[in-house]
Amino acid sequence: MDTTYDTTYDTAYYDQGTAAERWARAQLFFDAKDYAGAARVLAGLVEEAPEQTGPRLLLARSYYHSAQLRRAEAELREVIERDPVEHYARLMLGRTLQRQARHEEAEPHLRIASALAGDFPQE
């Protein structure tokens, strides 16, 4: 008896449909707090269109909320490499690094995010 597990069926649902349908499905998973499910859908979308920031940011958020912090960090660094002034990616990267107890690395990203958002200290 063959005990090999076939994952074709498992991933078919996540990869099924147009990019717009998969984007909507990923958002539904995310809104339902099924962050791992959202990440499975979004990983394919990001692979197909790596230049798009929206899917990559939602993938990073999905990884963050499902405690896949190294993956979240990698996606956020990719966004920042492509767009150094992407405020939300900077903020999320700072928080992701903080969550990994890498506070010194997080601080510059959080400061840049604040500056980009126009949050300057009041004197």
- Structural domain including 96 reads 8-117
- Tell me whether residue 92 is in a domain: yes
- Tell me whether residue 104 is in a domain: yes
- Tell me whether residue 122 is in a domain: no
Distances (CA, A) of 45 to 6, 38, 61, 107, 113: 22, 11, 15, 31, 26
Q: Average per-residue pLDDT in the chain?
A: 88
**Is the pLDDT reported for residue 20 higher than 90?**
yes
User: What average pLDDT does the segment 19-44 reach?
Assistant: 95
Q: pLDDT band for position 118 (50/70/90)?
A: confident
- Tell me whether residue 3 is in a domain: no
Work out how many domains the chain is built from and give that number.
1
**What is the per-residue pLDDT across 68-86, written as a single tens digit (0 to 9) for each?**
999 999 999 999 999 999 9
- Tell me whether residue 123 is in a domain: no
Query: What is the pTM (predicted TM-score) of this model?
Result: 0.83
- Tell me whether residue 112 is in a domain: yes
- Tell me whether residue 71 is in a domain: yes
Q: What are phi and psi of 121, to 5 degrees?
A: -60, 140
Continuous segment of H or E residues that includes residue 120: none
**Is the pLDDT reported for residue 6 higher than 50?**
no
- Tell me whether residue 84 is in a domain: yes
CATH number at residue 25: 1.25.40.10
